[in-house]
Amino acid sequence: MKVLVIGNGGREHALAWKLSESKNVDKIFMARGNGGTEDFCENLDLDPKDIHGLLKFAHEEKIDLTVVGPEDPLCLGIVDAFKEKGLKVFGPNKDCARFEKSKEFTKKFLEKYSIPTAKYKSFENYDEAIEGLSEFSYPLVVKADGLCLGKGVIICQNLEEAKDALHKIFKDKIFGDEGSTVVIEEFLTGEEASVLCLVSDNKLFPLERAKDHKQIFDGDKGPNTGGVGTYSPVAASQELEKNLQVIYRQIEDGLDKEKLTYSGILFIGFMIEEDKPKVLEFNVRFGDPETEVLMPRLDCDLFELLNKTIDGKLKEEDIKWKDETCLTVIMCSGGYPASYEKGKEISGLDDVDEDIIVFHNGTKKSDALYTNGGRVLSVTALGKNLEEARKKAYDNVAKINFDGAYFRKDIGTKKNNNI
């Protein structure tokens, strides 16, 4: 069987790596892939948003399964286009991709089906949004409605910051048309957590949880990033698990009543306080870096799992996990998530231990391997517990070098490792 994986980050590298273990998979193509995926896949010079080019390639090459990594092609309708041509593809259709494309769409869905979430109001012009601020206390959250490359969320501590955020979005148009609608919502406190669910014909199958570290500096300080480290599994109390199950059923009920047909991944962002979860957001694709710790722990054939999901034949017992803990530390370019330089030569990868997996987030290979993004490498280790996995990962991070390399030194050290 031939598989096409669309994307070029650590998430896609991890998916392709796991797919390569399947007895059913003979060849994997990556569009575009990175300096790490070309070691075992064929990288293609095709943009993940080039729907026509990808469709043409998949049709001509007779691809048996296409797996879509990033959100942009999903929101552009790549799944619909592939299905129209009779090609098997993993990911939600364009209708369902609105859960990530539009924050307002998601909030309305949550409100309609009484799913716990933050109080909110949406606005389409600056003056009304300014007036609407009076209905909220501080801090509050201002969100541009669209994708905004994951940067459309601004936490405001006071009125002046909120006015400034609204001015930048509505007047300065820092997010272009993706900021034509703005959602203002209350600021929730608690522990942030994410759950990835396989969704097969509107039925949710939660995967084991992973704890992401979004802020760039140790101690959860500094600006948010795309995620700079994570580990799995994460424990949950019986009360929390019960409350999560209620929300999963509410989502399923809402999908059915809206006459949506969801197949793929639903990534649910939660804020949890005293075992009471509230939904922060939906994403419609595998999380990054969560995928980098879930794939090494997955103890079944990913190719078969994705096909069963698409075919509506998935069962809970199909999803199996290793008992081990997995932890990844992401090595970043200096300056990330603000400005950073690319093209720094990477050394030391040949020295890492044999049982360490290094997923490439942003690399490029020519005469040597070079940095090609803000997040560069996910150094990933399995261990019998969190402490062992953490030590193995950091011991090997120390062997890898590139100019300006930065990484958090406290991934997996939080005293409360529950959610």
DSSP state, 412? T
Residue-level pLDDT at 419: 52
Asked if residue 385 lies in contact with residue 320, where contact means CB atoms within 8 angstroms, the answer is no
Residue-level pLDDT at 147: 87
Asked if residue 282 lies in contact with residue 100, where contact means CB atoms within 8 angstroms, the answer is yes
pLDDT in tens, the chain (419 residues): 999 999 999 999 999 999 999 999 999 999 999 999 999 999 999 999 999 999 999 999 999 999 999 999 999 999 999 999 999 999 999 999 999 999 999 999 999 999 999 999 999 999 999 999 999 999 999 999 988 877 788 999 999 999 999 999 999 999 999 999 999 999 999 988 889 999 999 999 999 999 999 899 999 899 889 899 999 999 889 999 999 999 999 999 999 999 999 999 999 999 999 999 999 999 999 999 999 999 999 999 999 999 999 999 999 999 999 999 999 999 999 999 999 999 999 999 999 999 999 999 999 999 999 999 999 999 999 999 999 999 999 999 999 999 999 999 999 996 445 55
Residue-level pLDDT at 416: 44
- The number of beta carbons lying within 10 Å of the beta carbon of residue 49 is 14
> How far apart (Å, rounded) are the C-alpha atoms in residues 296 and 322?
8
In order, the DSSP letters of 142-207 are EEESS-GGG--EEEESSHHHHHHHHIIIIIS-TTGGGGSSEEEEEPP-SEEEEEEEEEETTEEEEP
Q: Please state whether the predicted TM-score (pTM) of the whole model is above 0.75.
A: yes
Angle between helices 290-297 and 10-19 (to 10 degrees): 10
Residue-level pLDDT at 335: 96
Residue-level pLDDT at 59: 97
Place of tokens 């006015």: 163
In order, the DSSP letters of 107-139 are HHHHHHTT--B--EEEESSHHHHHHHGGG--SS
H helical segments located in 50-102: 51-61, 71-75, 78-84, 94-101
